[in-house]
């Protein structure tokens, strides 16, 4: 079907189902264009909490749709591509986490939202890349087991006096696809550009940046900055969002290879099919939902940080 007709079909189905479409900023451009809201996973979950829509179609990866389902147990949460997972979230399982907890019985467990509902349920508290430092510093305990992203954990450790134990997980997009050489090359090509990077990047990249922050913090930084050019060290989908909100500024990907394959699995065709067939519904077992919600709510009580 032609793209225009497909978009018309999606709009019609959306009305029929009383649905909203929310899309992560790493999604394909054409999906971000048709979404009712775009942003990071937590912002989107908050949107989902405040909507009157009966159906939430989450264009992202599974852990994001799960978070929306945990926070909105009375709504139908759909994910258009059931195989959209996250290799970072997959580096940890509840049994491995329980084992680590036994090794460090005094530690409090802080899990990055990029983890499964089961891991959130096994944690004391959740955090996002925007509020991770605040979350860790809010705890009175000295020892923190930070899971699953070691780069974000290391970034947090450099901003706190606490003893942060790292999990050996990483996001391949940020850890492997963006190299120091790429940034050096881009800086030569665009000497006036500010380098903005995500804290999931390794230390070497972090040390080269003018600004380090979550996708929502990057967006804020760019809109407030007097600079006109930016080298963006995160998944390339973010460039659509930055260009859309700042059409007068110029953005260059730190690496064209920074692509999350799982994020790109969602297509317009799959969105139409999802609304038509009402699949794939994301459901979290009640026992896990209650515990995961507790960890998420504790974080939400600390500070409403993400804005977009």
Asked if 232 touches ligand SF4 (CB under 6 A), the answer is no
Q: What is the 3-state secondary structure (H, E, C) of 107-156?
A: CEEEEECCCCHHHHHCCCEEECCCCHHHHHHHCCCCEEEEECEHHHHHHH
Q: Write the CA distances from 22 to 4, 79, 308, integer angstroms.
A: 19, 10, 12
Element at 272 (helix H, strand E): helix 268-277
SS3 state at 58: strand
> Can the peptide bond before residue 280 be classed as cis, meaning omega within 30 degrees of 0?
yes
Q: How far is the CB of 87 from ligand SF4 (least distance, A)?
A: 5
Which of these ranges, 125-133, 140-148, 184-192, 256-264, lies near ligand SF4 under the rule CB under 6 A?
Answer: 256-264
Among 65, 69, 222, 260, binds ligand SF4 (CB under 6 A): 260
Site residues (CB under 6 A) for ligand SF4, limited to 98-117: 114
Among 61, 68, 222, 271, binds ligand SF4 (CB under 6 A): 61
CB 261 within 8 A of CB 281: no
Cα 303 from chain centroid? Answer: 17
Which of these ranges, 8-16, 86-94, 159-167, 272-280, lies near ligand SF4 under the rule CB under 6 A?
Answer: 86-94
Q: Which is nearer to ligand SF4, 86 or 197 (CB)?
A: 86
Q: Which is nearer to ligand SF4, 7 or 259 (CB)?
A: 259
Q: How far is the CB of 61 from ligand SF4 (least distance, A)?
A: 4
Beta bridge pairs of residue 109: 145
Among 47, 171, 239, 282, binds ligand SF4 (CB under 6 A): 171
User: How many residues sit in the footprint of ligand SF4 (CB under 6 A)?
Assistant: 12
Site residues (CB under 6 A) for ligand SF4? 26, 61, 86-88, 114, 171, 173, 235, 260, 262-263
């Amino acid at each position: 079907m032609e793209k225009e007709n497909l978009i018309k079909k999606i709009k019609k189905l959306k009305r029929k189902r009383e649905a909203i479409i929310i899309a992560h900023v790493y999604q394909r451009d054409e999906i971000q264009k048709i979404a009712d809201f775009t942003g990071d996973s937590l912002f989107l979950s908050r949107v989902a909490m405040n909507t009157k829509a009966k159906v939430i179609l989450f264009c992202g990866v599974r852990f994001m749709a799960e978070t929306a389902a945990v926070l909105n147990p009375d709504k139908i949460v759909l994910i258009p591509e059931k195989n959209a997972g996250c290799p970072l979230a997959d580096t940890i399982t509840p049994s491995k986490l329980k084992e680590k907890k036994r090794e460090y019985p005094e530690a409090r467990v802080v899990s990055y939202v990029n983890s499964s509902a089961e891991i959130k349920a096994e944690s004391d508290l959740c955090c996002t890349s925007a509020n991770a430092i605040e979350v860790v510093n809010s705890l009175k305990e000295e020892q923190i087991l930070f899971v699953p992203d070691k780069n974000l954990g290391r970034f947090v450790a450099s901003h706190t006096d606490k003893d942060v134990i790292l999990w050996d997980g990483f996001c391949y997009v940020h850890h492997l696809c963006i190299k120091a050489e790429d940034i050096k090359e881009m800086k030569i090509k665009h000497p006036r550009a500010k380098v903005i990077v995500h804290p999931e990047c390794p230390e070497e990249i972090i040390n080269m940046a003018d600004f380090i922050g979550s996708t929502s913090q990057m967006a804020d930084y760019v809109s407030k900055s007097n600079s006109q050019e930016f080298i963006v060290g995160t998944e390339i989908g973010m460039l659509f969002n930055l260009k859309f909100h700042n059409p007068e500024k110029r953005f260059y990907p730190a690496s064209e290879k920074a692509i999350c394959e799982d994020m790109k699995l969602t297509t317009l065709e799959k969105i139409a099919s999802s609304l038509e067939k009402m699949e794939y519904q994301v459901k979290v077992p009640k026992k896990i939902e209650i515990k995961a919600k507790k960890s998420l709510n504790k974080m939400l009580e600390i500070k409403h940080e993400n804005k977009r």
